[in-house]
Structures are given as structure tokens and as C-alpha cells.
Structure 1
Amino acid sequence: MSDHVNPPFGNFPLARLALDACAELAAPVVDALKNWDAREAARSVVYVDTDPEKADTAAFCEAYDAPLEFSANCVVVAAKRGGEVTLAACVVLATTRLDVNQAVRKHLGARKASFAPMDTAVAETGMEYGGITPVGLPGSWPLLIDAAVAAAPHVLVGSGRRRGKLILPGAALGRLPGAEVIEGLAG
């Protein structure tokens, strides 16, 4: 096990570089970190070990003294046009709400957009519900990052599992495969 690192915020029992904590991460997350073209971004990701019973954002922030304004949620959306469904992921700060009906729907050119069913999100990502992260999503998916997330010095996102979270620079999320930073994705 590697040495403990100091995360930029929060009070966690254990924090390590994510590349040194691969056994704790979901397989698609490990694959994404190891194969990320932006090597310096991959090396900047910190894994913090946490209680899976406190994975929901509000409980997590309270338990680990993590600022809500640096917590980001990754939401899987199903966009429909005609008989075709496109899955996409959207990342917004926990202090905001994703504008599914306008911003997401219009950006994806869909007639209708809604949150994807939990079973679909879990099956398609290979991640646990409550831990879905933008790191390691299917490469064919659009990944929409709210500009406020990309502007944050650091953000907290899921690790692919309910146990543990990742902390990384907000700008690094915009460097993930398929990522597009969008102004006004959330309100």
C-alpha cells in the first residue's frame, strides 16, 4: 500500500493516489485511469476511502467535512429521438440541478430526455448505483460537464463503487474522452 496523500479538502481516514488504489475501484474506472491520454490528469486523481452507507452527497459531506460546493454528481440520462435512445452522462455541482428538459435535451438533439433507469445506468456503466463516476464511462457516450464543475479547483465524484470517492481537478474532467464543457448545463 502506498503512502497516505493529503487531499485538498475533507477529513478522510485514508487517501491515496487512485492509480495506487486500483483494487478499490470499479474495473471501468481502473481501465480509464491506466489508459487516459492525459497522464498528468490521471496521476492527479486521489481516492478517498469512505463508508458506503454514507455515499449519498449530503450525508457524505457532513460525515467527511467535504464542502458541498466541491461535490459533483454524475447523472446518466436517456435522450430519445424517434425510436432511438442515446445514453449520456452529465456532471453538475451538487449545489445545482441538471437542466434535463432544456439544456441536455437541446444539446443532444432529442425530443425527450430523462434520467436513465437505475438498472440501465448500472448495467451500461459497469459501476454501482450511488458511485457512478465520469471516469470510465463507455467511450461512445457524450459526457457533458457543466462549466462550473470544470472551473472548480477540485471536485469530488464517485469511484465506480459506493465505497470511496475520487477527488480531482475540475479541469481534468473536461479532458476525459468524449467530454464537452457546457455553460448553463445546470441551474
Structure 2
Amino acid sequence: MPTLERVPALTAPELLAPPVASAVTELPTELADRIEAAPIDPELADTAAFSEAYGFPLDGGANCIVVAGKRGEDVRFAACVVLASTKLDVNRTVKKLLDVRKASFAPMDQAVDLTGMEYGGITPIGLPTAWPVYVDSRVLDAPDAVIGAGRRAAKLFLPGSVLGALPHVQVVEGLALPAA
């Protein structure tokens, strides 16, 4: 099993995508100091592969999903963070939060272009400031949540409570459903 060399994210900007590195430095010290980064094999960036290879439980992994919603010609984007052991409720909860008629996962190329992050590494830290970030309330209970670092070759580690305290975050009860 590969090992993880976790270091404070503030001391390892080379592991982070540029918007993530910038955003981490702008966080209040009490939040930034609780975020660690570690290099990983980019082939293992997807949550299930990472969990299996590095021995992390799926309920400690948090997926950041970029969603696009439409109301007429207006397109609204948001990021949703849910535990890897759950499934995002796009059709009810996200549509209601965005106040749109239709919502779906944003196309990969569009999500990458708009975030400045790599697909499979998109994270709620460093997203466009106009986007709401919705975090499922269950994520707050994760003592050591694993999220992307903006690059496939690294992960961030932080308490779920820190995720819930990030700027632009709205904690939502029922954002995720149990995985089928």
C-alpha cells in the first residue's frame, strides 16, 4: 500500500492548482492551518481508486461536483460536496437551491475551463467566488475528509468542519442521498 506524505497545504503550493494555492493563502489562519496536502499517483485520483490504494474509507472521501442549472437562457453554476459513500440529489435538492428548471453535472471541459483545475481534482477551495458551494451536512462529521487539490497528482486532507466553514459554503441537510 502506498504511503502518504502529508504536509501543511500552505507550505506546498506546488501540489495545488494555482487557484487553490491562492485561495488557501487567503483563508483565515485557523482554517488554512488545518488543511494538509499530499502527492498521490494521478492514476489513483478517482475516489474509489484512491480509497482502495491508500486505505481510506469511502465515507471519508468527499467529492466536489460542478453542477450547471438552467432557467431560460440563464446558466447558473454551483459546486456540491458530498461524501463519496453518498449520491448527490441533483434532481430535487440542487434544482431547488439553484432555482432552476433543469440541473445536471457540468460538462467536463466546461468545469475544467471555468475552475482552472484538473478533472478529477476539482475542489471547493479556489472556485469562482460567484458560485455557491453547497456541502452536505454529513460531510461536517468526517474527522479527516479527503478532497481534490485542483490537480490529479495531489489530495487535500481537512476536518469536515473546516469544509463547512470555508467562504461561500452553505451547509445543506439532504444534499446527498444514500448510494444505491
Same fold (TM over 0.5): yes
Tell me the C-alpha RMSD between the 2 structures: 1.2
Equivalent residue for 2:113? 123
Structure 2 residues without counterparts, runs of 5 or longer: none
Equivalent residue for 2:158? 168
Code of the residue aligned with 2:3 in structure 1: it is F
Code of the residue aligned with 2:50 in structure 1: it is F
**Counterparts of 1:13 and 1:99, CA distance in 2:** 32
Say whether residues 1:51 and 2:41 are aligned partners. yes
Equivalent residue for 1:107? 97
Residue of 136, 148, 156 corresponding to 2:138: 148
Distance 1:11 1:169, change over 3 A: farther
Equivalent residue for 2:12? 21
**Aligned length, in residue pairs:** 177
SS at match of 2:6: strand
1:131 positional shift: 0.3
SS at match of 1:137: coil
Code of the residue aligned with 1:23 in structure 2: it is E
Equivalent residue for 1:3? none
Equivalent residue for 1:4? none
Runs ≥4 residues deviating over 4 A: none
Code of the residue aligned with 1:168 in structure 2: it is L
Q: With structure 1 as the length reference, what TM-score do the two structures score?
A: 0.92
Sequence identity of aligned pairs in percent?
A: 55
Q: With structure 2 as the length reference, what TM-score do the two structures score?
A: 0.95
Residue of 175, 179, 182 corresponding to 2:169: 179
**Counterparts of 1:40 and 1:109, CA distance in 2:** 33
